[in-house]
Amino acid sequence: MRCLVFEPSRHGHRFSYLRHLVEAIAELADEVIVTVNRSAPGTAEYREHVEPIEPRVTVDSSMPQGEGLSTIDFCRHALTALRTVVRDHRPDHVYVPSATGVAQMLGLARLVGINPFRGGVESECVTLREPFAYPSPTTKRWLFARLSLRAAALAPWTVVHHIDPLPFEELQRRGGRYARRSRLLPEPVETITAMESQEARRRLEIPETGRYIGLAGFLDLRKGTDLLMRAFADAPRRHDDRLLLVGRMADRIRSMLEGEYASLVNDRRIIVIDRFVSDETFATSLSAMDVVAACHPRQIGSSGIVVRAPKVGRPLLGSDFGWVGRMINRFSLGRTCNVRDHDALVAAVGTSLRDAEEPRLNEAARRFLKFHTVSNFAASISQNLRERLGRPAADGLRTWQWVNEPLEGADGC
């Protein structure tokens, strides 16, 4: 069994998904080929996630670079690259661990008879952003979301893995062939060892005293980093309250920190650690905080920080929109507000810092966290390949249905 894993971009958590996917299928397949673009080797993301699995795979980094293209041109580029690598490597099974955009292009291509998965090739993809399940601010976006869904449903995937339960649950309500091919995939949340906040701060070489609210990962407008900074600046604070920002920054965030918030940075009220965030640094950063922020104003899809914060015993302050708001409120992981309402966010920052304490996880929340693990991600994403090879399901497989089952008398909690 020759498996091909296709990933045209290194940004975000794409290489993290790729690594966990390879680790899930490497023991099942005779050969695993990983295709990345030619700019990936040597980057921090590649060193963190791909180099550790190189002994187990064949890496093809000949794919042309797609950086700097518009979204639609990148998707066209990715589809062309996918067709090329499938033709060149002749796999039996194909995985695309971040198929948003590619799936739509593949669906449209199928209308004119283009299908790279022929001759018994099975294919699986992971979809990250599905706007059809979210409220649309304009008619144009509403129409785009529905056309996007129709195009994705035309793509010839054997299995479609959805990270976000909101579109998955909507598809199951609707029924049909696309729903039958769909499965909900957990976030691959690594085992995180919580540590005392002072120890975490010591490791990050930041002040050990005071109260911290913060954010880790790529710092941009999409995550509401600007909204969080403005709210922190205006919130009632103690002299030792601090905002911790860990990760690479978008240009807009950098200019704000060097401009209107430079005095807070100079006074160490805002502490910035500007570097690539490894899994270890990410976990340490969350442990250093008293409150973890997830102020994504209109996030479509899941957020890894929402799943990881409660694993180190930290409450969340998040947006009340979409997956972020739904999960925080549904599983009592912290508090939410309309983060686009500046006054509401200012008040929430102050209240969260004042009342910060380890969340008391109920049984539903514990199931939610047990669902989102590396082992359950591996069990879930390898399920179809196991069925194809006549292998039993992986031990300990937990489904989204299990998370939502009535708790009385349930097994495995």
Helix axes 251-258, 225-234, angle to 10 degrees: 20
Domains of the chain listed by start with CATH number: 2-188+373-403 (3.40.50.2000), 197-361 (3.40.50.2000)
Q: What single letter denotes the amino acid at residue 113?
A: G
- pLDDT greater than 60 at residue 326: yes
DSSP designation for 393: P
Alpha-carbon span 184 to 327, nearest angstrom? 15
Single pTM value for the model: 0.90
pLDDT of residue 361: 86
- How much is the mean pLDDT over the chain? 93
pLDDT bucket at 411, cuts 50 / 70 / 90: very low
Q: How many angstroms separate the most distant Cα atoms in the chain?
A: 67
- pLDDT greater than 70 at residue 410: no
Instruction: Pull the structure tokens for residue 371.
Output: 């669902």
Q: Nearest 10 degrees: CA dihedral of 261, 13, 82, 22?
A: 160
| Average pLDDT of span 284-307 | 95
Question: For residue range 56-73, what is the model confidence (pLDDT) as tens digits?
Answer: 999 999 998 877 778 888
pLDDT bucket at 407, cuts 50 / 70 / 90: low
Q: Phi, psi (5° rounding) for residue 156?
A: -85, 40
pLDDT of residue 413: 31
Question: For residue range 118-151, what is the model confidence (pLDDT) as tens digits?
Answer: 989 999 999 988 999 999 889 999 999 999 999 9
Question: For residue range 200-236, what is the model confidence (pLDDT) as tens digits?
Answer: 999 999 999 999 999 999 999 999 999 999 999 999 9
- pLDDT greater than 70 at residue 412: no
- In sequence order, what DSSP letters do the residues of 102-155 get, joined into one string? HHHHHHHHHHTT--S--TT-EEEEEE---GGGS--SSHHHHHHHHHHHHHHHHS
Q: Are 309 and 283 in contact (CB under 8 A)?
A: no
Dihedral sign for Cα 390, 391, 392, 393, please. negative
Q: What single letter denotes the amino acid at residue 4?
A: L
Query: pLDDT higher for 356 or 412?
Result: 356
Question: For residue range 380-390, what is the model confidence (pLDDT) as tens digits?
Answer: 999 999 999 99
Query: pLDDT higher for 359 or 316?
Result: 316
